[in-house]
Structures are given as C-alpha cells and as structure tokens.
C-alpha cells in the first residue's frame, strides 16, 4: 500500500509550484502526475490521420513524491501519512491527529 494514491488531494511543499493544490491523476514508480501542477509547454507535431492538431500544448509532468503531501482538510495543511490496522484492514491515517485519510 502506498502513502499517496491516485485520487488524493495533495499540496506541493517544494519546487516552483510550492503551495499549489491538486488531485493526483496517476502514481508512477516514485513520481506522481497532479492536475494543474508542474505544467510544461510541449511542441507537438500535427497528425491529420489521427486528428491531432499541431502546436504548443500544456502538459502536466510528473512531480517527485517527496515534494507533495496529502492535504488534510481539518488542519488546512499537508499531513504526513502512516498506516494503522482497523478491524483487520490496513488503512492510511494522518500522523498529526490519527484520523483516516
């Protein structure tokens, strides 16, 4: 089980997008793709056969997992995540207040 999974609301704690919030779309090996965070310009070549238009597009690039934290709505900040066993199941909990993610 991972500490950050797709669908989590996260906040960026380091880098050029520090302080921005977004939702994790995909988790890779040690990086994650977050909506609206770490956006880069990509020069894309058009392909009329597949209907792809050419030009400069905005693309979300992966961000390292060490630079994001799961957003805790109760405190309004990012929180560290740990694991706990509840009713025989392993669940993610915030280390600050012990509530489930």
10 Å Cβ neighbour count for 99? 11
Q: What is the residue-averaged pLDDT of the chain? A: 94
The rounded distance, in Å, linking the Cα atoms of 77 and 29 is 25
The angle subtended at Cα 36 by Cα 30 and Cα 38, nearest 5°, is 50
- What does pTM read for this prediction? 0.85
**Cβ–Cβ under 8 Å, residues 91 and 100:** yes
Structural domains of the chain, with CATH: 9-45+53-94 (2.30.30.30)
Tens digits of per-residue pLDDT, 5-58? Answer: 999 999 999 999 999 999 999 999 999 999 999 999 999 999 999 999 999 999
Q: Closest Cα partner for 8 from 60, 81, 97, 86?
A: 81
């Amino acid at each position: 089980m991972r500490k950050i999974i797709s669908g989590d609301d996260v906040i960026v704690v380091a880098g050029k997008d520090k302080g921005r919030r977004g939702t994790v779309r995909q988790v890779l090996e040690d990086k994650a793709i977050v909506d609206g965070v770490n956006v880069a310009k990509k020069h894309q070549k058009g392909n009329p056969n597949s209907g792809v238009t050419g030009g400069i597009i905005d693309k979300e690039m992966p961000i390292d997992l060490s630079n994001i934290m799961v957003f805790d709505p109760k405190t309004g900040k990012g929180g560290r995540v740990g694991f706990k066993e509840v009713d025989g199941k392993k669940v993610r909990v915030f280390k600050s207040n012990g509530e489930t993610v």
